[in-house]
Every structure is written in C-alpha cells, then in structure tokens.
C-alpha cells in the first residue's frame, strides 16, 4: 500500500493498525497527470505512426512490453498505412472526478479486535467516476500536394464505479426539433415582476447580477432576464408554473428558489450573500492519560495547546441547505506546525469535520509487553502462559503516521462570525510522545476512533469561538 499512488479499487490488510489515507483533491490532480502522461501512449495498429514500444534497459522487458503494447493498442477493422493517428489530453481540460470518500479524506474501513487491538482488518475499496475528453488527430501527411491534412475531433471517455460506461448511441430525430420561443418578448405575458437585489453584508443594491428563469422539472426551458437598474428589475416573465428563479454574481452565493410567473403582479426582495474569506485558528484539547485510558477530566480546566510541528490537520466544512440550495463547502489542510488559515464561508448550518494525523520526526515506538494469562486445564490444573502484546513493536514515523485527533460537530455560522474576527476551531487530541516509551502500551491506541465521541459528549468544548 503506497500513499504516493492513487487509492486502490480493492485491497485489504490484516494485522496492522496504521491506516493509509489520501486527500481526494490530490487524487483528482494525480489522475489528471496520469491521463496527461498515458493517453498519448494509445496507438492504432496498421497506421503510419504505429511503433512497437520496447522496454528501457532498467525495466523488466517482458512485463513492460506486454503492458504498453497490449493495454494501449487499438486494433482497427481496416489498415490505414497512409494515415497518422494520435491521441492527447491536456491538464487544462478538467475531468469530471468522483471518488467514494467521506468529504476530502479517503481512508479505509477498519475493523479492530476489541481484545487484541493490534489485530485489525482494513478494507480499501474505492470506486472511481471519471469523465474526460480525448482529442483524436488523424493526419494524412501526403495530402494537398504534401502539405498534409489534419482532421481532429473529441471523444468523451466515461468511467463509472471504476468500470467503462457502456451505452448504445441512439441519434436524436431531427425532423421534430423546433427552436423554443419561451424567451420571446411576445411570450412574456405574466404580471409585472419586481425584484430588488441587495448585498447581505452592506445592504447596498447589486446592479450586475445575472438573472435566469427556468421552467420545467428538468429545466426544459430557460430564459435570461436583463435590465437591472440600481439593484432593481421591473419586467414581465414568460408564464410558468413550477419555475425556478436563479440569481448569480461572481463572489456571491447563488440565490435559487421556486417562483411561479402568473398573471398577478409579484415582488421579491432578494439578498445575495457575499462569500467571505475568514481566518481560522486550530486549537487542540488534550486528553489526559490515566490508568483507565485517555479521558477528559471535567473537574479540571481543559488543557488547550496549538498543533505541533509533526501534525497534519484536515478541516472540512459542508453547509446544509434545502433541496434548492447549491452545495457549499470549504476545505483546508494545515501542517508543519501551522495553526491558522483562511477559508471561505457564508452564513448557514455546517457539518464540521476535523481530522489530525501525526508524522513523528523522531520515531515513536510502542514496545512489546510481556503478559500472562492464567487458566485451569481441564477445569482443574492451574496453568499460566506468557505472551507478547503487540507481538512486534509498533513504530510510527514520517512514513507511518498515527491518528492523533479529531472532532465532528454541527456549527451554525451567523453574521457575527463573519465580521473579520479570527475564529477558533477546536478538536480533541492526544500526544503519545509525552508518554515515556517504557510506559506505552497497546491500549494507548484504543483512543483512535473515539475522538468524535469525545467531541459529541463534550460539545461545549469544541464549539467555535471568536476573538
């Protein structure tokens, strides 16, 4: 399992409690680079520019040549020795990319033995949804008296659930296609519609917003409404029952609500929320190690410290809206001791998830500990056996991090949070490096997976504050 590669479609690991995880946005970038590097390797047999790919001297010849000459080879129905055919993909052609991760963090499903904590089953099962364009170039070098002739077109490749999307192409009938007259001025016969658009922050009118009126369950008709003056538009709409009014402006969260354009007059006051960049600061609420494990001692003030230099912290905020709202989310990664960052926010109700991993710069070891079990053989003869737990030392380092903190909470973001003040976010964490190596035991890892429980049982400690 390699964190530098993309997540596997299926793989499992047994007996290791250290997870491998990925960041979804980085995986998307890696996939784009893979497409850029590998799409040009596709070749069509029997063409002028087809050539057999041979392995470099330092590669396993048979497997290398089998991979690149079989998996990237297209067999034509007819030979075209006079034509050159090539395929290309450019990184600026952003692909559609989907991966079944919970937010931005892609991690395995882990099942641990509650008695022998070191025994764990990790199931890595990732399903990719990808759509991307491929430019196909067919060139006839000898055409036009040797000047050559190029014919180029795009193909779209679709992958769903990590499998090629197969679908029969059915051409649309053209005889019945008619241009829609939904937007014709003569069809705008509703009562007068007045819309006042203001900035939710400064209460000033917004003049250059884009207004679109969609009609039909599948948005079969769409019309752009113009003529905004001083943040107000007064005009007639095409009649529609079950329409959707969409108002957008760059730098603002879009307004999207149902609106029926009817015979009667209508007036709407619309506020557009500017997307604010706010400063957040991360704070770690330290768990206390006791003979009963890691706890929060409610009899003492919470021990709060900044993230340490070996931590990588992932913060994701997903706004919960109604069925008409566009999804809004913010995500940031902090590492190398950094505890502040800027994120984009608008008012609303958010699901907040914070996850911390520690990559010890000096290796951190949980040594094997000798333990005894006593029992009676045949229910009569006293016996005892010794064993080591864990069987081998567990080592965390720069390559093998350990989950060191986290929180899940619901946060109602009001205008008060968006006034330029720094917002303090909190998460629950622990620091194994503060425990002497000789005193570390396998049970110290029982806290992994309980950070979210702590954040819910002590919700008052992790609620964001401003200063």
**pLDDT tens per residue across span 331-357:** 888 888 899 999 999 999 999 999 999
* Cα-based distances in Å from 405 to 126, 141, 294, 356, 433: 24, 62, 12, 5, 14
Asked if 316 contacts 277 with a C-beta cutoff of 8 angstroms, the reply is no
Residue 433, token pair as written in the block: 């490096």
Residue with tokens 């003049």: 207
Residues in a beta bridge with 375? 383
Q: How far is CA 457 from CA 62, 83, 154, 317, 453, in A?
A: 58, 69, 55, 20, 6
Sign of CA dihedral 392, 397, 399, 402: positive
Q: What is the pLDDT of residues 398-416, one digit of tens each?
A: 888 888 999 999 999 998 8
CA 198 to chain centre: 32
Residues 321-360: b if buried by 16+ CB within 10 A, e if exposed: eeeeeeebebbbbbeeebbebebebbbbebebbbbbbbbb
- Residue 116: predicted pLDDT: 45
pTM > 0.85? no
83, 139 contact by CB (below 8 A): yes
Tokens at 387, concatenated: 């064993």
- How far, in Å, CA of 358 to CA of 310, rounded? 5
Looking at residue 60, what is its pLDDT? 64
- Go through the domains of the chain in sequence order and give each one's CATH number: 11-164 (no CATH), 185-274 (2.60.40.1120), 276-466 (no CATH)
The answer for 348, left when phi > 0, alpha when psi is -120 to 50, beta otherwise, is left
Tell me which residues of the chain have a pLDDT lower than 70.
Answer: 14-18, 57-61, 111-120, 167-181, 217-220, 227, 375-379
What is d(CA 338, CA 174) in angstroms, rounded to the nearest whole number?
Answer: 60
Which residues fall within 8 angstroms of residue 370, CB to CB, at 6 or more apart?
Answer: 386, 387, 388
Q: What is the spatial distance between Cα 235 and Cα 246, in angstroms, rounded to a whole number?
A: 16
How far apart CA 413 and CA 9 sit, in angstroms, is 37
Q: How far is CA 375 from CA 115, 272, 285, 385, 389, in A?
A: 17, 71, 42, 9, 18
Neighbours of 247 (CB within 10 A): 23
Two structure tokens written together for 333: 């990664």
Q: Is the peptide bond before 390 cis (omega within 30 degrees of 0)?
A: yes
In tens, the pLDDT along 104-156 reads 778 888 765 544 444 567 788 899 999 999 989 999 988 888 888 889 898 98
E-only strand ranges, 378-464: 381-389, 394-396, 402-413, 423-429
Helix or strand holding residue 456 (H, E)? helix 451-457
């Amino acid at each position: 399992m390699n964190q530098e590669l993309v997540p596997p479609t299926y793989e499992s690991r047994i007996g290791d409690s250290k997870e491998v995880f990925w960041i979804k946005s980085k995986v998307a970038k890696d996939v784009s680079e893979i497409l850029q590097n590998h799409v040009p390797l596709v070749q069509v047999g029997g063409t002028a520019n087809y050539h057999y790919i041979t392995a470099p001297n330092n590669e396993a010849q048979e497997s290398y040549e089998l991979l690149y000459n079989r998996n990237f080879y297209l067999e034509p129905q007819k030979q075209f020795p006079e034509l050159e055919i090539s395929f290309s993909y450019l990184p600026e052609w952003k692909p559609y990319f989907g991966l079944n991760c919970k937010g931005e963090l892609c991690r395995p499903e882990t099942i641990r033995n509650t008695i022998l904590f070191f025994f764990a089953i990790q199931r890595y099962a990732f399903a990719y949804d990808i759509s991307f364009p491929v430019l196909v170039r067919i060139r006839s070098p000898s055409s036009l008296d040797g000047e050559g002739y190029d014919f180029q077109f795009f193909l779209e490749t679709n992958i769903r659930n990590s499998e090629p999307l197969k679908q029969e192409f059915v051409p649309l009938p053209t005889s019945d296609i008619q241009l829609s007259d939904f937007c014709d001025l003569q069809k705008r016969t509703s009562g007068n519609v007045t819309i006042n658009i203001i900035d939710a922050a400064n209460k000033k009118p917004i003049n250059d917003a884009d207004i679109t009126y969609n009609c039909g369950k599948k948005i079969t008709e769409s019309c752009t409404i113009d003529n905004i003056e001083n943040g107000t538009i007064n005009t007639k709409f095409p009649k529609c029952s079950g329409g959707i009014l969409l108002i957008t402006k760059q730098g603002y969260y879009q307004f999207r609500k149902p609106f029926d354009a009817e015979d009667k007059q209508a007036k709407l006051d619309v506020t557009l929320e500017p997307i604010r960049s706010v400063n957040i600061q991360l704070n770690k609420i330290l768990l206390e190690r006791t003979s009963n494990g890691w706890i929060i001692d409610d009899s003492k003030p919470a021990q709060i410290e900044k993230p340490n230099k070996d931590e990588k912290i992932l913060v994701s905020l997903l706004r919960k809206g109604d069925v008409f709202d566009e999804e809004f989310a913010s995500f940031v990664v902090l590492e190398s001791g950094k505890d502040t960052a800027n994120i984009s926010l608008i008012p609303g109700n958010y699901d907040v998830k914070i996850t911390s991993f520690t990559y010890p710069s000096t290796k951190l070891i949980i040594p094997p500990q000798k333990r005894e079990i006593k029992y009676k053989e045949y229910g009569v003869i006293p016996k005892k056996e010794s064993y080591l737990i864990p069987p081998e030392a567990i080592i965390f380092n720069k390559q093998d991090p350990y989950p060191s903190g986290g929180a899940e909470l619901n946060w109602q973001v009001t205008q008060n949070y968006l006034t330029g003040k720094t917002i303090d976010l909190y998460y629950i964490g622990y620091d194994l490096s503060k425990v002497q190596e000789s005193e570390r035991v396998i049970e110290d890892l029982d806290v992994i997976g309980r950070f979210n429980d702590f954040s819910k049982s002590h919700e008052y400690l992790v609620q964001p504050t401003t200063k």
